[in-house]
Every structure is written in C-alpha cells, then in structure tokens.
Amino acid sequence: MLLYFRLLRESLSFALNALTNNKLRTFLSLLGVTIGIFSIIAVLAAVDSLDRKIKSDLSDVDVNTMYLKRFSFGPSEIPRWKREQFPNVTYDEYQYLKDAVKSAEYMAYQIFTKSETARYEDKSATNLNAVPVSYEFADIQKLKIANGRFYNESESNSGAPVVVIGYEVAKTLFGDENPVEKKIRLYGQRFTVIGVLEKVGNSSLGMPSNDLAVIFPVNFLRRLYGDSYDFMTPIIIIKPAPGEEAEAVKAEVAQKLRNYRGIKAGEIDNFMIDILSGFTEFIDQIIGQMNVIGWIISGFSLLVGGFGIANIMFVSVKERTNLIGIQKALGAKNKFILFQFLFEAVILSVIGGLIGMVLVWLITLVLTQVLEFEFVLSFWNMIIGTSLAAFIGLISGILPAISASKLDPVEAIRSGM
C-alpha cells in the first residue's frame, strides 16, 4: 500500500513538472479537455437550473389542473383547419360546468387578451399582462398576496372595477407608497387597487410573469367589449377535487360539454382539454433532449481533448525513455511504470476538467446577477465533471502507459543516451 502512495506522489510530481516545464504544450493539450468539460457542465447546469425554475414555478399549482379551450397547448392529431373551426368556450358553459361537474373542486373562467398599460397620476406601466379572470383563479393558482386581498365572488360576478397588481407594477406606479385603495386607469376606466402580489421573478415557461400582471374580474371585460372580439380567447381552468383522478374528471367534463353542445355519438369533440401534468411531461422530454444534444456537441470537444492528452503522454514517454530504462534496471516492474503514466494522464485531465468547472461556476455567478435567474452548479454535476475528466485521462493515457511499461530497459537506456 505504501508503494502505491509513493507511486501516486511521484506521478503527481511528474505531472506538475510536465505542466511547469512545458507550459505552452500543456496548455494546448489541456484546452480540449477544459472546453469539453466546460461545455458539458455548462449545459447540465443550465438545464438543471431551468428544470428547477420550472418546478418552482409549478410547485404551487396542482399538476392535475386542466384547461378547457378551443385550441391545444401541444401537438394534436386533429388537422389545424378543423381545429380553427372549433367555437370558443363561453361564460354560460363555465357556469353550467361549474354546477354540473361534481368531481371538480374549483373552476375559473379566464380570457387571454392583449397586454395593457396602467396609469397612476403621471406614471405609467406598459406592456402589462392583463388577466381578466373569475374569483376562483386565486385558489387554483394559489396566488400569494403580499398586501391587501383578492376580489370575492360578488365583485367577480358583478364585474366590479377592482384590480390586483403584480410586484413590479406596484413599484413602477407607486414606488414606496401603499397601493391599496389607490385608483389606477385601465381600459380608460378607474380601477381600485385591492391587492398586491408577492414577487415571483421571471417565469421559466415563456409566460408573462405575475410581477407584471394586472388581475381583475373577467365580467368587467365582458361588460366592456362583449364576448366576440378577436383579441380575446376564453378558457376554463378546472382543478379536480382531492382524491379525484385527473383523467376521470377530464372525461366527465368532456361528456357534460358534449351534451351541452349537442355533439352526437361518433362525432369528435370540438374543444380541447389539456392536463398540466401532460405539459410538464412534455417539458421533461424537451429538457432530456437538450441534455442529449449538449452531450453530443460536447463529446467532440472531449474527443479532441483526449487526443491532446494522449499526444502529450506519448511525448512524455519519449522524453523520459532513459529514466524509464534506469527505473526498470533498478527493479521497477511493468505495472509500476504503467500506473505512473496513467496517474499522470488522469491528473493532467482532471486539472483541465477543474479549470472548465471553475469557468462554469464563474459564469453562473455573473449570469445569476445579470439575468435575475438563478443558475446552479450542483454538487452532482461537479462529480460528473470530475469523473468524466478522470475517465478521459484514463482512456487517453492507457496506450502511452502500456508502451512505456513494455520498453526494454537496455534499449531504453541506450536510446536515451
């Protein structure tokens, strides 16, 4: 055992000498490994960070939540031209389903519409995410109110001019003032601010952040414009009751709506129901594909890095041929020489990998500050990077190490003189 510790110490010494004595050659040889490990760990860190952000964004939402509408969030077997003929869901259908579907705990009616501008005195907040929705939305999305309250059933049904605003909207319009009970203007009308949402940060799903949202009763918009404007797309959000299977709730909703719309047996549904869990599975597939693509691209850099390590090890064997002959003449066994060069190759490769991971860590710190998106370099990814670098060093150094261990001592001493 002491022999192998001594071997490791001597190999480390040889590796460090190779680094210091041949700086340019070592730099060029390690560059490939550094770039390869940097690429892989950067991709893994970015994908892991995105995955964590998505799960964080969805952590307060039941994955069994479903969305009823005329279009589909994902791919569909129904031709596009046929889907475009589907009618929008209506407020009357929302009220009917709310009473008829017993397996649903909450059901909300929302309209997707264009962005808006809110004004308070001489200040304005532009490009805001307008969210006209019924009062159940707060329970389905588990909205967190930092100040004030959400509107109630009475205010929702009557379309009262009340609004709950996002964190950034409050900061832009009111600064350090308390926004609650203040009046802002939306759609040319006066709204009373009754609540402010907690700060949530940027959304990872490409959706507008609630920090820039203005949420108000859907019936206000319906009373103002009606139900048939091109810039309005209604949906019904359904949350199953505790203990109910999502697919069973989906089937009940579909059957009730088919009956309400008079769809005959054998005819296809003229509406779409998407379950949030299916969307998250779709996201997981995309993240998995991103990981695979990242590994493939980074693999080429690692291949080049492996060739660089192999090259420097062959050169090292050539330069130390005389020393190898002397060691073998003094009784060093083949495996001693073999392990010596293998350790050196692994150490060189691990150094390149560590440099790559340090670069990833520095970049994650910078991007987290600049983009306000938390990039995380996990301990597991660091283990993957170190192990991968050691593996590349082992594979790259095996042939030079074998060639060194098989040198004839007499010929090695003679050729080195």
Tell me the pLDDT band of 303, cut-offs 50, 70 and 90: confident
Angstrom CA distances, 57 to 90, 133, 145, stand at: 28, 20, 16
Q: What is the tens place of the pLDDT at every residue in 164-217?
A: 999 999 999 998 889 999 999 999 899 999 999 998 876 545 566 788 999 999
DSSP-derived secondary structure letter, 299: H
343 pLDDT tier (thresholds 50, 70, 90): confident
- Those residues with Cβ within 8 angstroms of residue 198's Cβ, 6 or more apart along the chain or in another chain: 144, 145, 146, 167
* Residue pLDDT, tens place only, 35-83: 777 877 787 777 777 777 766 666 656 678 889 998 876 666 777 777 7
pLDDT at res. 319: 65
Query: What SS3 state is found at 353?
Result: helix
- The pLDDT assigned to 400 comes to 75
Return the top range by mean pLDDT from 120-134, 303-317, 324-338. Answer: 120-134
Q: Burial level of 133, CB count in 10 A (0-12/13-18/19+)?
A: buried
Average pLDDT, the chain: 80
Share of the chain above pLDDT 70, in %: 78
Confidence of residue 277 (pLDDT cuts 50, 70, 90): low
Is 356 within 8 Å of 38 (Cβ atoms)? Answer: yes
Query: Confidence class of residue 161 from pLDDT cuts 50, 70 and 90?
Result: very high
Question: For the ranges 3-7, 334-338, 364-368, which has the lowest average pLDDT?
Answer: 3-7
- Better-predicted residue by pLDDT, 120 or 345: 120
Percent over 90 (pLDDT), the chain: 29
Which of 201, 134, 124 has the alpha carbon at shortest distance from 169? 124
Average pLDDT of the segment spanning 312-316: 72
Instruction: Identify the band that residue 96 occupies on the pLDDT scale cut at 50, 70 and 90.
Output: very high
Span 138-161, average pLDDT: 92
pLDDT of residue 184: 93
Asked if 306 and 33 count as a contact pair (C-beta separation under 8 A), the reply is yes
Residue 251 CA: distances (Å) to CA of 127, 228, 272, 349? 38, 28, 12, 57
Domain residue spans of the chain: 2-57+282-416, 87-270
Q: Residue 185: its pLDDT value, please?
A: 93
Give yes or no for residue 278 having a pLDDT over 70: no
According to the 3-state scheme, what is the secondary structure of 59-120? CCCCCCCEEEECCCCCCCCCCHHHHCCCCCCCHHHHHHHHHHCCCEEEEEEEEECCCEEEEE
- Nearest Cα neighbor of 381 from 357, 352, 348 is 357
Per-residue pLDDT at 414: 63
Angle at the Cα of 37 from the Cα atoms of 31 and 39, rounded to 5 degrees: 100
